[in-house]
Amino acid sequence: MQSFNPLYHMKQIKQQFSVTYQYATYFTENLFAVENPLLAKAIVAESPPAKCLFVIDSGVVEKWQHLPQAIADYASAYQHQFLLAATLIVPGGEQAKNSQQTLHNVLAAINNYGICRHSYVIAIGGGAVLDMAGYAAAIAHRGVRHIRIPTTVLAQNDSGVGVKNSFNAFGKKNFLGTFQPPVAVINDSRFLETLSDRDWLSGISEAIKVALIKDKDFFEQIERDAAALAQRNLTAMQALIYRCAALHMEHIATNGDPFERGSARPLDFGHWAAHKLESMSNYRLRHGEAVAIGIVIDCLYAFHAGYLSKADACRVINLIKNLNLPTSAPELFEKNADTGTYQVIAGINEFREHLGGTLTITLINAIGSSFEVHSINNTCMEKAIDWLQPSTN
Ligand SMILES: NC(=O)c1ccc[n+]([C@@H]2O[C@H](COP(=O)([O-])OP(=O)(O)OC[C@H]3O[C@@H](n4cnc5c(N)ncnc54)[C@H](O)[C@@H]3O)[C@@H](O)[C@H]2O)c1
Ligand SMILES: [Zn+2]
């Protein structure tokens, strides 16, 4: 037997480097009109043309049936810039993130059409399709270039402008995923015209969320615009999306933790309950609808725990109601048969498990002002949920 070499045991090679990420969110209308060069300009290639695989949400194609042809026409107009490899239509909505088959189909297309690290996956759709396609792009060849074209309010103001992508697994939301910033994000507000009322409204929750934790003026802007937003005024929605996207991007760039290595996640205010309610409802609730309910629960909790005034809690709830967003759901009152406690409260621990580290829940103590807690008082939380029982509301 060789003798132990103490000099080898003491050796180490230190490694340190940093990578700078840079991307823009562009705002436009009629992205695929041949006169609009924005997308062609966003595709940068060392030796053009770059190959592009389009992954499109079926819900978008249903309403914009000419879209695949418009993409083909656009690609031939800009053929010196990019080469259309294929357009792949995938089922829209949360099923995109639940279906292994859909993920496989995107990966297979990346393989079959020879999409390399210098090619592009361009995803067009709601937050779910963007999350899934972004995940496929991030894991194929350890990362191919990715452009997002979000088509819902929620994807344009929050999910599409950030650095995360994901896929659901083991019955858990976002269990798989990577932090992989896109090359560019392009918000075309014309897509919003065909959203259902539910999808038009549900993304507003993320704007209320970020306003509550960071920007009282923005909250007041949403209050002033509530009637216009509820009546589908596009100008009011464009202003909301722009401000909300800017606040999300600024937070990611400046909070010192873009890839969420710490325990805190202020942008996830209201989200521990939202994620649990989404899975308890078997995704009947949209993410944005669940976030609206999650915000209500955490505001009522903050009130019962003595952090937030009743006036501020009521102001938040009134805004959510004025926007025809839900403040409650039947799943909220399901109880654990063994403990007799509300099942949704288990979401607190699942949230901690997903983040890792110490439990950190963001609350507000005034509109526009957030703080963190590391434990939750179950009695206060039960009171908050009790308050939402249909009989007491
Ligand atoms: N990556 C992130 O940082 C992040 C952040 C927040 C939310 N998310 C994820 O985003 C998802 C929710 O996204 P969402 O609210 O956009 O919902 P969604 O993607 O489920 O889309 C909702 C419905 O709208 C349809 N649709 C999309 N665009 C349309 C259009 N222009 N016209 C008509 N129909 C259209 C879709 O087909 C779908 O049926 C969730 O999975 C959530 O976890 C991700
Ligand atoms: Zn969210």
Q: Is 1 contained in some domain?
A: no
Whether 191 and 231 share a structural domain: no
Per-residue pLDDT at 393: 47
| pLDDT tens over the chain, length 393 residues | 788 888 888 899 999 999 999 999 999 999 999 999 999 999 988 888 999 999 999 999 999 999 999 999 999 999 999 999 999 999 999 999 999 999 999 999 999 999 999 999 999 999 999 999 999 999 999 999 999 999 999 999 999 999 999 999 988 889 999 999 999 999 999 999 999 999 999 999 999 999 999 999 999 999 999 999 999 999 999 999 999 999 999 999 998 889 888 877 889 999 999 999 998 999 999 999 999 999 999 999 999 999 999 999 999 999 999 999 999 999 999 999 888 899 999 999 988 888 777 899 999 999 999 999 999 999 999 999 999 987 654
Q: Is 175 contained in some domain?
A: yes
What is the extent of the structural domain holding 237?
Answer: 198-253+262-386
Phi, psi angles (nearest 5°) of residue 317: -65, -40
CA 171/CA 98 separation, integer angstroms? 9
Residue 199 CA to ligand 1 centre (angstroms): 8
Whether 176 and 207 share a structural domain: no
For residue 109, how many C-alpha atoms fall within 13 Å in the half-sphere facing its CB? 25
- Alpha helix locations (H) across the chain? 6-9, 38-42, 58-63, 67-77, 95-98, 100-112, 127-139, 153-157, 197-202, 204-214, 216-230, 234-254, 271-280, 287-304, 310-322, 346-355, 378-386
Atom number of ligand 1 nearest to Cα 174: 43
Residues in contact with 347: Cβ distance below 8 Å, sequence separation at least 6, in sequence order: 272, 273, 275, 276, 277
Per-residue pLDDT at 9: 85
User: Is 152 near ligand 1, meaning CB less than 6 Å away?
Assistant: yes
Q: Is 331 contained in some domain?
A: yes
Residue 267 CA to ligand 2 centre (angstroms): 8
Residue from 174, 177, 160, 341 nearest 272 by CA: 174
Q: Is 19 contained in some domain?
A: no
User: Is 316 near ligand 1, meaning CB less than 6 Å away?
Assistant: no
Residue 354 CA to ligand 2 centre (angstroms): 15
DSSP notation for 335-382: B-TTT-SBGGGHHHHHHHHHH-SS--EEEEEETTEEEEES---HHHHH
Closest-CA residue, ligand 1 atom 26, reads 59
CATH number reported for the structural domain that contains residue 321 in this entry: 1.20.1090.10
* Cis geometry, peptide bond prior to residue 266 (ω within 30 degrees of 0): no
Question: Kind of pairing, strands 50-57 and 120-125?
Answer: parallel
Per-residue pLDDT at 116: 97
Atom number of ligand 1 nearest to Cα 91: 37
Whether 46 and 111 share a structural domain: yes
User: Is 287 near ligand 1, meaning CB less than 6 Å away?
Assistant: yes
Question: Kind of pairing, strands 145-150 and 164-169?
Answer: unpaired
Closest-CA residue, ligand 1 atom 13, reads 127
Whether 363 and 307 share a structural domain: yes
User: Is 178 near ligand 1, meaning CB less than 6 Å away?
Assistant: no
Whether 154 and 226 share a structural domain: no
Whether 176 and 225 share a structural domain: no
Amino acid at site 363: L
CA 195/CA 152 separation, integer angstroms? 7
Whether 36 and 175 share a structural domain: yes
Residue with tokens 């939301």: 173
- Residue pLDDT, tens place only, 184-198: 999 999 999 999 999
Closest-CA residue, ligand 1 atom 22, reads 93
Provide the residue count of the chain.
393
Per-residue pLDDT at 354: 80
Point out the domain boundary residue: 195, 227, 243: 195
Q: Is 51 contained in some domain?
A: yes
Residue 272 CA to ligand 2 centre (angstroms): 10
Whether 214 and 235 share a structural domain: yes
Whether 207 and 164 share a structural domain: no
Residue 200 CA to ligand 2 centre (angstroms): 15
Whether 215 and 358 share a structural domain: yes
User: Is 265 near ligand 1, meaning CB less than 6 Å away?
Assistant: no
Atom number of ligand 1 nearest to Cα 206: 6
Q: Is 237 contained in some domain?
A: yes
Residues in contact with 246: Cβ distance below 8 Å, sequence separation at least 6, in sequence order: none
Q: How far apart are the first and last CA of the chain?
A: 76
User: Is 57 near ligand 1, meaning CB less than 6 Å away?
Assistant: yes
Whether 165 and 222 share a structural domain: no
Q: Is 3 contained in some domain?
A: no
Ligand 1 pocket: which of 102, 152, 194, 210 to mutate (most atoms within 8 A of CB): 152
Residue 37 CA to ligand 1 centre (angstroms): 26
Point out the domain boundary residue: 148, 171, 195: 195
Q: Is 391 contained in some domain?
A: no
Residue 343 CA to ligand 1 centre (angstroms): 26
Point out the domain boundary residue: 146, 170, 195: 195
- The domain total for the chain is 2
Ligand 1 pocket: which of 99, 154, 161, 187 to mutate (most atoms within 8 A of CB): 154
Question: Kind of pairing, strands 82-90 and 50-57?
Answer: parallel
CATH number reported for the structural domain that contains residue 151 in this entry: 3.40.50.1970
Residue 286 CA to ligand 1 centre (angstroms): 8
Q: Is the dihedral of CA 106, 109, 114, 120 positive or negative?
A: negative
- Which ligand ends up closest to the CA of 294? 2
Whether 315 and 169 share a structural domain: no
Phi, psi angles (nearest 5°) of residue 83: -115, 120
Exposure b/e, 284-316, CB count within 10 A at least 16 = b: ebbbbbbbbbbbbbbbbbbbbbebbeeebbeeb
Residue from 339, 351, 334 nearest 385 by CA: 334
Residues in contact with 71: Cβ distance below 8 Å, sequence separation at least 6, in sequence order: 32, 54, 84, 87
